[in-house]
Amino acid sequence: MMFYTVNGAPAYCYTAGKPFDPAKPTVVFIHGVLCDHSVWALQSRHLANHGWNVLAVDLPGHARSQGEAPASVEQAADFIVALLDAVGAPRAALAGHSWGSLIALEAAARLGERATHLIMVGSAYPMKVSPALLDSALNTPEKALKMVTVFSCSTLAPPSGAGFWVFGAGMALGRRVLRSNAQVNLLHRGFTACDSYARGEQAMAAVQCPVLFVLGEKDQMTPPKAAQTLANAARSAGRQVQVVTVPVGHNQMTEAPDATLAALRGFLAQA
């Protein structure tokens, strides 16, 4: 298992068992609230076996990574920048899902030319969280987790191919990540970070690389129209923008794994 010391704490990255190769391009995968690296399982494993260094992180204080769990998008973005420095990656593509998409955006803004591609999956800006859900996340996290998992699924027949049940896997992963940090309620902290992020347009103006949006047509958490503000900001900044819509909900990587991978591969193939 690959750990890097970032800001003095061990940070776990899934690399498909491969060591970092400075000769290869690098892609960083950033998960959303109450998730870990494994939400990118198929996409990260594929790219790691097709010419890329993959760094699919567990954010600090989540799952295998130690350190203080980020309380804001900006703090998490600082971690991503520090991770790349610790790894020794001069440049990297950044891919984020949901909360992770905002972290990728903010990190890309900070990295400037070091960011080669920005991929925002299931994104929205502003990423407001209802007061009721925030309250539930704080006081009844199991109930909030179920609510979020229900809203994230769009089908009773996800195309797992190998008997995985996406709803159950979402619940189990959320519970596991919640248990992984005894000091911090990661669900509430993550949602608060989403809700309070206000630098989206400013950050997009500073991004210097092409931007891909992968949006779920049936996404109830981050509906496609909620990404338009950022897409417009990217276009206004003169960035190349691609929008790919997949016919699923907020679990783009597990409900539409092939379509999501195809979108990523096509976009990353662009220099």
Partner 1 sequence: MPGYSDPGFDTLALHAGAQPDPTTGARATPIHLTTSFVFESSDHAAALFNMERPGHVYSRLSNPTNAVLEQRVAALEGGVGAIATASGQAALHLAIATLMGAGGHIVASTALYGGSHNLLHFTLRRFGIETTFVPPGDLDAWRAAVRPATRLFFGETVGNPGLDVLDIPAVAQIAHEAGVPLLVDSTLTSPWLIQPLALGADLVYHSATKFLSGHGTVMGGVVADGGSFDWDASGRFPELAAPYDGFHGMVFSEESSVGAFLLRARREGLRDFGACMSPHTAWLILQGIETLPLRMERHMRNTEKVVQFLASHPFVARVGHPLLESHPSHQLAQKLLPRGAGSVFSFDIKGSRAQGKAFIEALQLFSHLANVGDCRSLVIHPASTTHFRMSDEALAGAGIGQGTIRLSIGLEDADDLIADLQRALKAAEKSAAAPTAQAQAQAQAKAGA
Min separation Cβ 206 and partner 1, Å: 33
Joined together, the tokens standing for residue 212 give 């891909």
Q: Is position 4 an interface residue for partner 1 (rule: CB under 8 A)?
A: no
User: Alpha helices of 22-111 — where are they, by DSSP H?
Assistant: 41-48, 73-87, 99-111
Q: Is position 164 an interface residue for partner 1 (rule: CB under 8 A)?
A: yes
Instruction: Report the C-alpha gap between 208 and 108 in whole angstroms.
Output: 8
Q: How many other CB atoms sit within 10 Å of the CB of residue 72?
A: 18
For partner 1, the binding residue among 51, 90, 172, 217 (CB under 8 A) is 172
Helix (H, G, I), strand (E, B) or coil at 114: helix
Q: Is position 205 an interface residue for partner 1 (rule: CB under 8 A)?
A: no
Min separation Cβ 103 and partner 1, Å: 19
Site string (26-45) toward partner 1, x via CB under 8 A = ----------xxx--xx--x
Instruction: Report the C-alpha gap between 85 and 41 in whole angstroms.
Output: 24
Q: For residue 267, what are the contacts with CB-CB under 8 A and spacing of at least 6?
A: 117, 119, 210, 212, 242
* Residue list 105-134, contact with partner 1 (CB under 8 A): none
Which residues bind to partner 1, rule: CB under 8 A? 1, 14, 17, 36-38, 41-42, 45-46, 49, 63-64, 146, 150, 153-165, 167-169, 171-173, 175-176, 218, 249, 257-258, 261
